């Protein structure tokens, strides 16, 4: 895949998402990892929890990409998105970004060279904590109320309270 360089779009992107190459074949098969394929411009073509692209008939190794889930939306589009009805592929794949594609909007994907890990399960949390043990920056942080809240949310503690922030959304410009 050619590197994705920023281009001068004719219109602002409504939604952007990061992606990173999947290096571990086990992650490529993992249904908890959302995979994405993009067109030559870097726009998402499809998201799936299955391995895409397949590569079965290609005969050579293929590079798969995972959705990193850092998704800035333009403010007006975020409000529009929340009013769009769920779509068949979104429901089948259990991937909310498919709602955007099925309603005819584009999602610009931007590749990051950094290896990323999602934290969706207690096992994921333990894996990331293990990775952080060797990180020199980890010791510079102290666990504060925000980190405890995130840990509680990730572990399914619903006592955190309604309205607890799970992600941040920003609008450029």
Residue ranges making up the domain that contains 146: 122-159
* Domain membership flag for residue 168: no
Domain identity same for 27 and 86:
yes
CATH at residue 71: 3.90.550.10
Cα 113 to chain centroid distance, Å, stands at 14
Whole-number Cα distances in Å, 52 to 35, 37, 106, 164, 173 = 6, 7, 19, 34, 34
pTM: 0.70
Domain identity same for 78 and 39:
yes
Cα 77 to chain centroid distance, Å, stands at 18
Domain identity same for 24 and 98:
yes
* pLDDT tens-digit profile, the chain (173 residues): 444 444 444 557 899 999 999 998 899 999 989 999 999 999 999 999 999 998 888 888 889 999 988 888 898 999 999 999 999 999 999 999 999 999 999 999 999 888 777 787 888 888 888 888 877 777 666 555 556 655 555 555 544 444 433 343 333 43
Question: What pLDDT, in 10s, does the model give residues 13-36?
Answer: 899 999 999 998 899 999 989 999
Give the angle subtended at the CA of 98 by the CAs of 94 and 100, to the nearest 5°: 140
Domain identity same for 92 and 141:
no
């Amino acid at each position: 895949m050619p590197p994705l360089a920023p281009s001068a779009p004719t219109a602002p992107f409504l939604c952007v998402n990061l992606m990173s190459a999947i290096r571990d074949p086990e992650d490529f098969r993992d249904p908890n990892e959302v995979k994405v394929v993009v067109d030559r411009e870097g726009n998402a073509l499809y998201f799936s929890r299955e391995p895409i692209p397949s590569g079965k008939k290609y005969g050579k190794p293929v590079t798969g990409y995972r959705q990193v889930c850092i998704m800035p939306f333009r403010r007006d589009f975020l409000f529009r998105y929340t009013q769009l009805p769920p779509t068949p592929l979104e429901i089948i794949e259990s991937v909310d970004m498919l709602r955007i594609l099925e309603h005819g909007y584009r999602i610009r994907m931007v590749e990051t060279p950094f290896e990323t890990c999602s934290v969706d399960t207690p096992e994921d949390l333990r894996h990331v904590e293990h990775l952080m043990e060797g990180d020199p920056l980890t010791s510079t942080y102290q666990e504060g109320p925000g980190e405890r809240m995130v840990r509680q949310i990730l572990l399914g503690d619903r006592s955190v309270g309604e309205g607890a922030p799970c992600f941040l959304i920003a609008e450029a410009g």
